[in-house]
Structure 1
């Protein structure tokens, strides 16, 4: 099995297990159930009750992403937009660590996902890499997104995989392949290795890209885009580096998006064990990893006494001794063969440190690449990662590599800090900025006439809509519209107009009204059969529609403007 790319599963659900014996007849039934805290259980619907101005609606962010120009110009525009709108989007969110707790408890069981299949890729060097794949139904070719999760990530039912699936597949017009991280226990056990570092993970990503391109599935793909989070983003950055040296200059990947990226691996390892929250997390995760893999890997058995010794930094020992030993043997057979690192060998921890300092290679990137980080990241500390990349680009500018820093989103939790659908719009919009399909995607938009009934939304004199969202329920033929307004009915309201979350309830009331689901039948919506399907449809509708006033303007912030129509982009296809 190691010598084959098992991607026939991407043909879609219902593939007979007898015809494809490596595919389970219940494709994701074997996925482990991920523990979700009842206290922090979060099942996002895409409805954001945070009051915003018209300038900060997610459709305005799309215009920022689609304004053209170089990647560094795009990153600059995006950072400027977040400087203006970030305070609005995040002002009623929880403190930073609590946002992270909310994000890691995002609840959407991949065991119920009908289009998701397990896949295993046989890499060119003989190693294997597990993944999950989901292809949209139908024959229309579309972009494929390849996403890699972070440190110690296994292909199970984890939070980053759930978020990838929800935002890049269910809410976006893309096919999706999700890859496990080389630091995951699955990869280590499958390959007898303790791999770590973007220099290797980036090569794996491009290997997967090439094998997908060489398969019959290529006819279902128009372009390929790569994204990742945390240590997975370290691999994304190196994939962009290697792809910049593709034969004949022909890009195999159209865009790269690295979220909360590790940039300097050794510095991240050293900082990983410092600080109460960060140190506790990484010690716990390293301990779990070692318990899962040590008996399968001889070098770890030999290192067990020092790895387990009280007071030692197990992550540092794993990196400096276990990982170096692995690459010394693996790379010792032949030097690295990818430009611009061709000819390099790893004979010491210093070699491993140098090759994994992406800031030293950033000047060579020639593919559109966006690095997106948050200033409050407590796990991939910006001062030893993204800010080093910023300094490197300050010394040697690169128009194809942009870096955007935003205030909130502690370790890849921007969806919890700035709103689920806003973050979906950011990821989706950046990918669409680098596709030929963007124009046709926009042409798929439909305008559905919709007139609010008298009394549904009593805005009152000078009242205006500041937030809204749709909600479907399992078995219900009705879709509920929730709408939040601002009504300057008293001096107290007027005085607090710029911070609506502090206004008395009667200044910023929330209304709701129900309408037939059939009004969205042209957009592919139907009565949901399950709560899983209802949540998926709700998120899709909130991430792909906006309400217009009688003059065709988006209604957010418009005085005394009631809903007149719904603009829906694309169609629900699942």
Structure 2
């Protein structure tokens, strides 16, 4: 029987379209993408100690269940600062480049589909949607991506699918940005989100809840990236202040979120690092959507777009967004805290999206992640303003995690994929009480090929395990376990002991000459897996990445082997399942 923790989903629906009185949901196959880049295997690029590896962060967060989001963020911030020398990637300023180079053929997955959602007001929102294999209800993560994002088969969408769907227990839908070209053409409107951005996310959730897929969702969670983070925060405001209008939202989270919309939009059109890219993309998009947007074809000719400078691009985009908001709020907006208000000026529009002023309305657990070295959504224009607001008016529901590095949303590249995935997942699982984490355990000597204990594999004096990782090739009957062994300069295994004083180093902070690697082959069959299910690059990468994020090697007392010379005796693989007390509730 294929094991529960990693089996590839075959999601069988009686139809690929779900309609109800207030909206429709249509699923289809994803388009293939030839995005150049590299596969993310999921293991740590450093050799953190047992106190700073991803499993330690999981246990730390789980032990703080009683803390508020604000309280746990302060505790977690301190632990991260203490561990940063061990976990941070040694080469700075390459995180964003690595992030946009993420490659993953998600179209090969049987779990993920292209989705088109029509809202009650007729608007069309496209994206990608992935389902867990279990027919039991699971939490749904609704994601709004960032500026120009189409939510198709590219690195941003794929990273979310990898983290939330494959490594976690969430169903996932990633929605295109309101600034995506397809969205503008389909809906004949040019906007930046703002006032309407959060509402649309909640309207999507309502349609999904009322659809034929609604019985699959145990709770609803909202996540935002960059500009989409502003919409996620606005959704938190609306859901908190209008609890009877929308389905209950259990958590909101955002990475590298736009806090102050006006300052951020100004920045992308005026800062030398990003303004050339932004103006070029805006120019191209304006030509593409010209015939679809009345505000454009009534006020400009296509040739006008080629003569605009940065200030004029921002003015055009802002005025188009104001025009859209003016139409939406005519007669008065109907949601608190803006009930009765009308948008008529640029000041009105941007004032209604300053999340540092609106955080006081949020009563839903909300987790924000931001890097100090973000070159796109600057710290001083965004996260710092939220920090100052919370210092002046604390909100126990708001968790702020300021990371030293990670640039724009590339935290997994800076801190290690498994480390950030674990932190993000465990924080959000705090707000999904219907789920529990369990482990499937295997005795290592029974699943490994041959007798690898003893003999030439003995650890020498002064040696200890520094890291382990899992590797798989498509179609292989085995997964390779790589054991990275720290060896002191006095060890017989150290080939360059005369050059390196390894005995003066620690296993987590030593040069490469202080390590050796032992490889062990683990049988997929003995893990309860069918090798035929992992015969392509997508499924093979999913297998090794999930193992590197969710597997734990320990002794029989379940203590880690990291930092010790104890041979691994038990392989534990964690996954989430629906608690028994919730099963009966969802069945009815």
Q: What is the TM-score with the length of structure 2 in the denominator?
A: 0.87
Give the match for residue 479 of structure 1: 479
Identify if the C-alpha distance between structure 1 residues 416 and 288 changes in structure 2 by more than 3 Å, giving closer, same or farther: farther
Q: Match of 2:192, SS?
A: coil
Deviation track 1:2-33 (CA, whole Å, cap 9, x = no partner) reads xxxxxxxx993565569999857x611xx262
Distance in structure 1 (CA, Å) of the matches to 2:432 and 2:456: 40
Offset, 1:418 = 1.0
Q: Match of 2:128, SS?
A: strand
Question: Which blocks of at least 5 consecutive residues in structure 2 are unaligned?
Answer: 1-8, 446-451, 491-499, 578-588
Deviation track 1:494-534 (CA, whole Å, cap 9, x = no partner) reads 23337635x252x122222212112311x787662222211
Give the match for residue 524 of structure 2: 517
Distance in structure 2 (CA, Å) of the matches to 1:482 and 1:17: 42
Deviation track 1:433-487 (CA, whole Å, cap 9, x = no partner) reads 111234x3x2x31221113533575432121212111112212111101121211
Offset, 1:84 = 1.3
Give the match for residue 454 of structure 1: 454
Deviation track 1:104-154 (CA, whole Å, cap 9, x = no partner) reads 111102221212222222223332211221112232111111111111111
Offset, 1:329 = 2.6
The count of corresponding residues between Structure 1 and Structure 2 is 546
Structure 2 residue 367 is the aligned partner of structure 1 residue 367: no
Give the match for residue 561 of structure 1: 566
Give the match for residue 262 of structure 2: 266
Give the match for residue 495 of structure 2: none
Counterpart selection for 2:389 from 387, 392, 396:
392
Report if the CA contact (8 A) 1:421-1:543 is conserved: yes
Identify if the C-alpha distance between structure 1 residues 19 and 150 changes in structure 2 by more than 3 Å, giving closer, same or farther: closer
Give the match for residue 508 of structure 1: 515
Counterpart selection for 2:47 from 36, 51, 58:
51
Offset, 1:277 = 2.1
Question: Which blocks of at least 5 consecutive residues in structure 1 are unaligned?
Answer: 1-9
Structure 2 residue 540 is the aligned partner of structure 1 residue 540: no
The equivalences for 1:137-536 within 5 A come to: 137-247=133-243, 252-301=248-297, 302-303=299-300, 304=302, 306-313=304-311, 315-332=313-330, 334-438=331-435, 440=436, 442=437, 444-451=438-445, 452-455=452-455, 457-490=457-490, 492-497=501-506, 500-501=509-510, 503-505=511-513, 507-521=514-528, 528-536=534-542
Q: What is the TM-score with the length of structure 1 in the denominator?
A: 0.89
Give the match for residue 5 of structure 1: none
Offset, 1:361 = 0.7
Q: Compute the RMSD of aligned alpha carbons.
A: 2.6
Offset, 1:395 = 0.6
Distance in structure 1 (CA, Å) of the matches to 2:406 and 2:247: 31
Report if the CA contact (8 A) 1:331-1:345 is conserved: yes
Give the match for residue 102 of structure 1: 98
Q: Match of 1:276, SS?
A: coil
Distance in structure 1 (CA, Å) of the matches to 2:175 and 2:74: 30
Identify if the C-alpha distance between structure 1 residues 124 and 343 changes in structure 2 by more than 3 Å, giving closer, same or farther: farther
Give the match for residue 7 of structure 1: none
Distance in structure 1 (CA, Å) of the matches to 2:284 and 2:465: 49
Report if the CA contact (8 A) 1:226-1:257 is conserved: yes
Report if the CA contact (8 A) 1:152-1:289 is conserved: no
Report if the CA contact (8 A) 1:147-1:179 is conserved: yes
